Chain A
Amino acid sequence: MILFSGKKGKVVFIAALTLIGIFILCSLGFASEGGGHGGADGSQRLWDLGARFLNFAILVIILFVVIKKTDVKDFFSGRRAEIGQKFEDLKKERDAAEGRFRKLEDELKAFETKKKEIIQQFEAEGVAEKKKIIAEAEERARQILEQAGLTIQREIQAAKDRLAMEMVEAAAQRAQGIIEKEITDSDQDQLVNEFIERVEKLH
């Protein structure tokens, strides 16, 4: 029992027990088979079994030696540390990603706020521009109406003047026609005499 103390001893002990167990089980199997056929070739089979067992034992020993030489425990402990480190890294990455996510979320909120502000500003500017355009249009309409009023007044005055001119022309034509028809030699004499009197007054 002292030989099998410690961690290493336990492993050797378990391996030895396993081999003995396998050997017993194999012997029982062959014994039951040999009872059925008689004892003619029983020793031959036993030898075959022993060779196989030996073969298997050598394989187990080789495996044991190889595993021992290659430090499987260190490998698995290293692997575990590596996985733990990787897990830690992934956790850090996850934390960083979460941080970035929160940052982006904050930025998105800020962007949304900014967007609302811009939209509100544009809406306010649009309303102001609309008011300005309406005011300008109203002013322009007022000017057009005023101009139209002045134009109408001018046209009316021009029409009045034109009518007056036509009336004067017609009256003058009519007067000339009457005078041409009615003027006599005595009228001419009177006109000449008046002319002479006016010339004499110029002396």
Chain B
Amino acid sequence: MSTHTATQPAASQTHAERTTWRLRLLASLGPLAALAGVVWAIVQPYRVTLLHPHDQGFWWLFVEPPLLVVFAGALFHLFVARVVIEDLLEE
């Protein structure tokens, strides 16, 4: 008796589970990074100069480390992760 039919569904189920986990991880990378930036801004609000903008020069208002982390997470999610997820779903 061939075991092919018995093992094939199990293998495809494992593959599907692995793909699901990949999708979840990919979808959460950007939001997690952005969340880290938000938490940082709450824990150290003085690192966000926009919250106390008086007498600040251009660079202190333009470069805000916690917001840069949020920006990186959002940028990655919108322009990279979503396309990778689409390709992974197609597979």
- Chain A bound to chain B: no
